Amino acid sequence: MRVLSLTGELRKEQGHKMLRFRNFWIYSAGLASVWAVVLVLTLAIRGKESTQPVLWVFLGYCVGWVSTTIARYVYPPPKRWGSNLRQE
Q: What is the pLDDT of residues 52-82, one digit of tens each?
A: 999 999 999 999 999 988 888 888 777 655 5
Q: What is the pLDDT of residues 9-46, one digit of tens each?
A: 666 666 566 566 667 888 888 999 999 999 999 999 99
Helices (DSSP H) in the chain: which residue ranges? 2-19, 24-46, 52-74, 78-87
Can you tell me the distance from the alpha carbon of 24 to that of 13, in angstroms, rounded to the nearest whole number?
A: 22
pLDDT for the residue numbered 76: 73
pTM of the predicted model as reported, rounded to 2 decimal places: 0.59
